[in-house]
Structure 1
């Protein structure tokens, strides 16, 4: 199956990212993107688009481990 790429000129403010991730995670990203028929970059953009719905009141993903480091906030015991 060929992955679908966005048409040239579609992105308004394209930037090239330059970070390193573990190879197994990159292969998973590539495999899932191929399964849905898009390029890895298109799949990553869709994941980021949906991330907005999963942020808590502090702007952190709800699934991210809570490390209780809140800048300037006093700790409040949970009921």
Structure 2
């Protein structure tokens, strides 16, 4: 994947978490909010963030996946993404 859209990045996060935790994607779909695109001028290391919810155990899985995915995809593009 080149620079993903926010929708593609969110789908990647859901897939990674579901695969690592061996649970269905529907649970993680509910706990992950939309990916927000941030200004590169103010956030040069990574231009996205995502709102999350859930228990401490859920957050463990989510935070680990965010770290993993952010290492590979620190930037998202807003071009062509209907979710923005």
When normalised by structure 1's length, the TM-score is 0.28
Higher strand share: 2
Higher helix share: 2
Q: With CA pairs under 8 Å and 6+ residues apart, which has the higher RCO, 1 or 2?
A: 2
